[in-house]
């Protein structure tokens, strides 16, 4: 799922406080998801192969649902992500 280009579309113009609030909400959502993911990926299934498989499946499900959770927390005022130096954003196909 891609986001609209906020720099080119005036409908997505956000004030500095709106962008700061949106960024804070996304950071809070990210911290929540990160903690949940750590709990799910570090669970111990013991020696039971069924439990180990269940823990692995639950970790994958947590990653998938976490991505949906984070996407749902984005709003038009959320600033675009910044990339580390030397990296470029993927180009649309």
Query: Tens digits of per-residue pLDDT, 25-49?
Result: 999 999 999 999 888 888 888 999 9
Nearby residues of 40 by Cβ (< 8 Å), 6 or more positions away: 58, 59, 61, 62
Q: What's the pLDDT tens digit per position in 45-91?
A: 899 999 999 998 998 999 999 999 998 988 888 888 776 666 676 66
The more confidently predicted of residues 38 and 3 is 38
Read off the pLDDT band of 2 (50, 70, 90). Answer: low
pTM for the full predicted model: 0.66
The CA distance from 57 to 38, in Å, is 14
The CA distance from 6 to 85, in Å, is 21
Please compute Rg for the chain using Cα positions. 18
Domain ranges of the chain: 14-71
The CA distance from 69 to 37, in Å, is 12
Nearby residues of 88 by Cβ (< 8 Å), 6 or more positions away: none
What is the reported pLDDT for 50?
94
Q: Which two tokens stand for residue 5?
A: 């280009």
């Amino acid at each position: 799922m891609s986001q609209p280009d906020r720099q080119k579309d005036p409908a997505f113009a956000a004030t500095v406080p709106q962008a700061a609030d949106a960024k804070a909400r996304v950071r809070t959502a990210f911290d929540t998801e990160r903690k949940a993911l750590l709990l799910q990926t570090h669970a111990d299934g013991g020696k039971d192969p069924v439990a180990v498989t269940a823990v692995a499946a639950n970790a994958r499900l947590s990653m998938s649902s976490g991505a949906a959770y984070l996407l749902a927390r984005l709003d038009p005022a959320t600033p675009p992500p910044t990339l580390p130096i030397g990296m470029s954003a993927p180009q649309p196909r």
